[in-house]
Structure 1
Amino acid sequence: MRTNLKAGDRVRLLSMTDDPDPISAGTTGTVAGVYPLSDWTQVDVDWDNGRSLMLSIPPDQVEIVSTKADQTN
């Protein structure tokens, strides 16, 4: 499973499933790392609320708020 996310991108969480202590939808954060696997992608995010929590895409869903390139221009 491929994703367009890259380290440094800013994201907003749309949904997180199957986590006993999920991040709330609408929370923003910065992608720290992207690790593609065969059927899914693991994404490490440093959330603005102080937590660091990995996403599993799919089923978790985020939208890109800004890319690292946007932030350097």
Structure 2
Amino acid sequence: MIYNEKKVEMLRQRYPEGTRICLDSMDNDPRPIPPGTKGIVQFVDDAGTLHCKFDNGRMLGVIPDVDQFHKIDQEQAQNDTQTEENIECEEITETEDLEENEEMNMSM
């Protein structure tokens, strides 16, 4: 689907680089990104495709009016990041606790 210049410019303003999105569905791709996957817009090309890097490591173009997605507001994106950081901190703490327990068991 090719958009006119005004539509492409509107998409670039609505989804600038760094905008967080969440994919709701992608039906026309042979290897679709799973629903609920979040990503970051890297750029909008001249055809109006949002090229994104998704949190699962994949990079793929999202086509407005074909793929279903929604923009994640800044506050929600920050909360998601803080939650991910907290989970990472908990995982590190759990790993450190396991290592300490192993060291204590070895020294006994």
Q: CA RMSD in A?
A: 1.9
Structure 2: gaps of 5 or more residues: 79-108
Looking at structure 1, the residues matched to 27 and 64 of structure 2 have their Cα atoms a distance apart, in angstroms, of 10
Structure 1: gaps of 5 or more residues: none
Confirm whether residue 29 of structure 1 aligns to residue 36 of structure 2.
no
- Bigger radius of gyration, 1 or 2? 2
4+ aligned runs moved over 3 Å, structure 1 = none
Quote the sequence identity (%).
Answer: 33
- Deviation sequence 1:18-68 (CA, Å, 0-9, x none): 10000011000100111243xxx201000000000111112112111135x
Amino acid paired to 1:29: G
Looking at structure 2, the residues matched to 15 and 65 of structure 1 have their Cα atoms a distance apart, in angstroms, of 15
Q: Residue in 2 aligned with 1:14?
A: 24
Q: Residue in 1 aligned with 2:50?
A: 43
More helix by share: 2
Confirm whether residue 61 of structure 1 aligns to residue 71 of structure 2.
no
Looking at structure 1, the residues matched to 22 and 29 of structure 2 have their Cα atoms a distance apart, in angstroms, of 17
Question: Between Structure 1 and Structure 2, how many residues are aligned?
Answer: 66
More strand by share: 1
